[in-house]
Structure 1
Amino acid sequence: MSSKSADAAATQLSQLRDAIDAVDTQLVDLIAQRAAITAQVGQVKRQLKQPLYVPEREHSLIRARRQYAEQKGLAADLIEDVLRRIIRESYRTQTMQATPTSTDLSRPVVIVGGRGRLGQLLAKLFGQTGYQVTVLDKGDQWTDELAAQAQLVMLSVPVNQTVGVIRQLPALAADCVLADVTSVKSEPLQAMLEQHSGPVVGLHPMFGPSVQNLAKQLVVVTPGRCADACQWLLDQFVNWGAHIETSDAGQHDEAMGWVQAMRHLSTFSYGLHMAEENADIDALLQMSSPIYRMELMMVGRLFAQNAELYADIIMANKQQFPTIGRYLERFGEALGYLEKGDKARFIEQFEQVKAYFGNYASQFLDESEGMVQLADDQRFRQQHGG
């Protein structure tokens, strides 16, 4: 290419980049305009007492925009990714406009353990929604007036202290809802039923205290007593955007053995092994695939949090310990036949497990691809100071 042609091409490239910058600015302006409209939507929802998250509306919106994107020759997945990120931000702005579902806001909501991180989040949500919130924590004393007036007492204390705290509760109003947010349910639920003769319900928020809002977050409900009297509380979580799943306490605790004890102990052991072997984390990050980076992120995430909390969670699921023991045996067996070079045995068991997962295997593969892309984008931003 001649010098003159190169100069012309460079000029054209600069002009095209300027045009892209102008369009990007317009995109930001349009997103800001959309945010202002969604804030108004939140105000109208409050008047109508509608929930933050309406799945049918979001699904309809996404479906229509995907079709329009294809008509414009754009990748539907790209537009869906962009819209979902924008929608997630709009939920954050609408959270403060949530509607109270209780019919009597003059009666206080008491958060026992309300200075803990999850307790603080719950107190904030109730307060923003218009409830009178009273926080009790270590050293705070109940008053007869508070016990008689409370419409809800919610326990957000460490799992190994929950039953003890329940047994020390004063006599509550007959219609006061007593609830807990502990990660195990059988013992706390039984203790609440024995301590309080009124409405009782067990809750397990399947999210951490760092969430910005409850849109699409899962709350598992284990019914106790007087379900109708507890319904306003469940409706409040739905109004905040949460998804409710109901389970009996025993079924919940069995599942949590897998979801929590097994996973957390496996993650802890992997991190412990890395530390004992002094693995070079920087080198692993530099040469890791996006999927391994995600796995490493989940390990590091555990150790960025409270050690006592995870010890309590694992130890509260002792019924899972025999299963964990069998897991270690299977791990050792697999290592044994791999050391012997028995590839056929590995393939045989691989196919057995593949058959067990069935269609879930391909479903999980598809779901993880989007997460892998996000992890890759995050690594790029970190590497380039974005």
Structure 2
Amino acid sequence: MNLQSKKIGVIGGSQGLGSWFVTYFRSRQVEVTFTSTDEYSEMASNKELVEYADIILLAVPISSMVPVLTEIYPLLHGKVLIEICSVKKFLIEHYEQLRQQYPAVELGFCSIHPMFGPRIHSLTGQVVLFNHQENLEANTLLGLKDLLQADGAELYEIPYVEHDKMMGIVQGLNHFNVFVSARTLARFEGDFEDIKKVASPPYRIFIVFFTRYVLQNPLLYADIQMNNEYVFEVVRIFRDEMNRLFDIIQTRDRQGFVNYIEEMQPYFQQNEQDREVSTHLIEQLGVYLEKLN
């Protein structure tokens, strides 16, 4: 199916990924409008938007997903709903409850997770995860996939429970590590510019991402940490490993430190090729910083 023949309505379309999708669809000559909770909303209500659109993209914050889905579900008969929540299990379980509550409402449903932020300018190499589909016409799904793939996106099918388990690592551990490390840097109270000047290129990359994450809306990360039930187990392991390494350093156990690193080497040897990736990133960072000076 050619999406250009359909009308798309984005709920939450003035900010974040909702805004990105509005811009993206319009650049591909797809008819799209949106609602939002600010003065930029193009329609008066979500009800009006659902009545207008053939396909509804639900792109509100994680904490608003359940209330908004509950609001619009009775209106979705004959429509297609696509949600892009970063956490799946709690939302899809609520969707299933609504299906039982409103058996007369028949709709197509698709759950996806774009693994990128709203600042990107190209889909080339960006990952989009497809996590759950129900009652969705094959040509509707293919139309969405074809559009994304034509612009270079990498698409993967991952069931929603497995998705949340993997995001416990990919998002939960990453965000937890970044924020604890960034907070440590802030508490140390060294001069930021001096630290950047003497930082090796790999550590300079860390600082780049500390800044990127810390200066974004913290509510997004709070919702990911607290709504994905698998994050807690991951960060508990992180805490245990932090305490173990802390004890090794505190006791100046040099052999213990060596053993600590060597124990994990077999796991990462399967990813040996990423050493070349890191070299490329470091070299490119140097080129970029030189242009700024």
Normalized against structure 1, the TM-score is what?
0.68
Secondary structure of the residue aligned to 2:230 is helix
Kept in 1, the 8 Å contact 2:169–2:234? The answer is no
The residue identity in structure 1 corresponding to 2:93 is: Q
The match for 1:209 among 115, 118, 140 is: 118
Change (3 A) 1:318 1:191: closer
> For this pair of structures, how many residues does the alignment match?
279
Q: Does 1:116 align with 2:15?
A: yes
Kept in 2, the 8 Å contact 1:160–1:312? The answer is yes
1:220 aligns with: 129
Secondary structure of the residue aligned to 1:370 is helix
Note the alpha carbon deviations across 1:290-327, whole angstroms, 9 max, x for none: 11101111111112211222222222224321331231
Secondary structure of the residue aligned to 1:160 is helix
1:6 aligns with: none
1:92 aligns with: none
Shift in Å, 1:148 = 4.4
Q: Does 1:130 align with 2:29?
A: yes
Shift in Å, 1:143 = 4.5
Secondary structure of the residue aligned to 2:23 is helix
Give 1:132-151 correspondences, 5 Å limit. 132-138=31-37, 140-143=44-47, 146-151=49-54
d(CA) in 2 for partners of 1:108, 1:373: 45
d(CA) in 2 for partners of 1:299, 1:210: 16
Kept in 2, the 8 Å contact 1:111–1:135? The answer is yes
The match for 2:290 among 380, 383, 386 is: 380
Q: Does 1:163 align with 2:74?
A: no
Q: Supply the RMSD in Å over aligned alpha carbons.
A: 1.9
Kept in 2, the 8 Å contact 1:189–1:201? The answer is no
Give 1:98-117 correspondences, 5 Å limit. 101-102=2-3, 105=5, 107-117=6-16
Secondary structure of the residue aligned to 1:182 is coil
d(CA) in 1 for partners of 2:77, 2:246: 59
Q: Does 1:259 align with 2:163?
A: no
d(CA) in 2 for partners of 1:279, 1:309: 28
Give 1:1-386 correspondences, 5 Å limit. 101-102=2-3, 105=5, 107-138=6-37, 140-143=44-47, 146-169=49-72, 170-174=74-78, 176-193=79-96, 194-195=98-99, 197-227=106-136, 228=138, 229-360=140-271, 362-382=272-292, 384=293
Relative to its length, the structure with more helix (as a share) is 1
Kept in 2, the 8 Å contact 1:177–1:199? The answer is yes
Change (3 A) 1:149 1:173: farther
Note the alpha carbon deviations across 1:103-150, whole angstroms, 9 max, x for none: x62x42000000112111101111121222120122731446x53452
Shift in Å, 1:240 = 2.9
The residue identity in structure 1 corresponding to 2:117 is: G
Q: Single out whichever of 195-204 and 328-337 deviates more from structure 2.
A: 195-204
Query: What residue ranges of structure 1 are gaps of 5+ in the alignment?
Result: 1-99
Secondary structure of the residue aligned to 2:162 is helix
The residue identity in structure 1 corresponding to 2:114 is: P
The residue identity in structure 2 corresponding to 1:133 is: V
1:54 aligns with: none
Kept in 1, the 8 Å contact 2:88–2:164? The answer is yes
The residue identity in structure 2 corresponding to 1:207 is: F
Percent of residue pairs bearing the same amino acid type = 24
d(CA) in 2 for partners of 1:323, 1:203: 23
Structure with bigger RCO (C-alpha 8 Å, 6+ apart): 2
d(CA) in 2 for partners of 1:366, 1:316: 36
The residue identity in structure 1 corresponding to 2:14 is: R
Kept in 2, the 8 Å contact 1:150–1:172? The answer is no
Shift in Å, 1:253 = 0.4
Shift in Å, 1:164 = 1.4
Kept in 2, the 8 Å contact 1:148–1:173? The answer is no
Shift in Å, 1:198 = 1.7
Kept in 1, the 8 Å contact 2:168–2:234? The answer is no
Query: What residue ranges of structure 2 are gaps of 5+ in the alignment?
Result: 39-43, 100-104
